[in-house]
Each structure stands twice: as structure tokens, then as C-alpha cells.
Amino acid sequence: MVEVFRMLADATRVQVLWSLTDREMSVNELAEHVGKPAPSVSQHLAKLRMARLVRTRRDGTTIFYSLENDHVRQLVMDAVFNAEHAGPGVPGHHLRDGGLKAVGESGPRRIGDTAPPSEK
């Protein structure tokens, strides 16, 4: 269990996991999405795979990565949303259309303003 939290202690790995909350992606897609070189993202993905946080699917020569299961998706979302509460002001996941929203109500958010990509 400690290994799972160790994986969440790295900003790039959290960005990679967050990117995968919506859909599967290739290494190159993830690298572009998180703004890091593909070899670096590939190394992070290998660690995430060993920790059983992501899984792979091959399509020809391309390997696609996705979150291992819904528990991982929930863990990533909860970790990001909880971290938002440490900052000043109203957490981004409590905002929608410029106003407050109820906890648990879905709406636009991402890391930084905090929404899984599927909810942009």
C-alpha cells in the first residue's frame, strides 16, 4: 500500500494518472499532454504499471495506457481534490460557471482548476 502513495508523491506521475482518468492514451499522447519528454513519461508509466495503477493494451506497434480500475480513478480524483483544499480560496472542484457548487456535484474542473478530462 505504501508503494501506491509513493507513486502519488511525484507531480509528473499524478499528471499522467490524471490524464488517464478520461481515456486511454499512448506514451506520445501522454508526453504531449503533460509537457514532458516521451522517454521520461515512459519511465514513469513503467513504475505506475509495476504498482498496478495502470494497465496496457497493444494495438499494432502502439501501446495504450489506461487506469487499472475505477478504484485508481477514484484515488487519483480524491487525492487531487483533497490537495486543492490545502491552497487558498475555494477549491476549483467546488466551482462551476463562476459560482459555488455542492460537494459531489460534477462540473468543469482539472488539475490546476481541476477536472478529469471527461468533465471539461
pLDDT value for 98: 56
Give the range among 14-18, 82-86, 96-100 with minimum mean pLDDT.
Answer: 96-100
Rounded CA gap, 111 and 117, in Å? 9
Whole-angstrom Cα distance, residue 92 to residue 81? 8
- Which stretches within 51-113 are classed as H helix? 70-84
Task: Locate 44 and state its grid cell.
Answer: 514513469
Domain enclosing residue 95, as ranges: 70-119
Q: Over pLDDT 70: what percentage of the chain?
A: 78
Residues 53 and 79 occupy one common structural domain: no
| Same domain as 62, residue 18 | yes
**If residue 29 lies in a helix (H) or strand (E), which one and from where to where?**
helix 27-34
**58 in the same domain as 13:** yes
User: Structurally, how many domains does the chain consist of?
Assistant: 2
Q: Are 78 and 91 contacting, i.e. CB atoms less than 8 angstroms apart? A: no
pTM above 0.75, yes or no: yes
Q: What is the pLDDT of residues 31-56, one digit of tens each?
A: 999 999 999 999 999 999 999 999 99
What average pLDDT does the segment 67-73 reach?
Answer: 97
Let me know whether 44 and 80 are in one domain: no
> Does one domain contain both 7 and 53?
yes
- 86 and 56 fall within a common domain: no
Give residue 85's pLDDT: 81
* 77 and 112 both lie in a single domain: yes
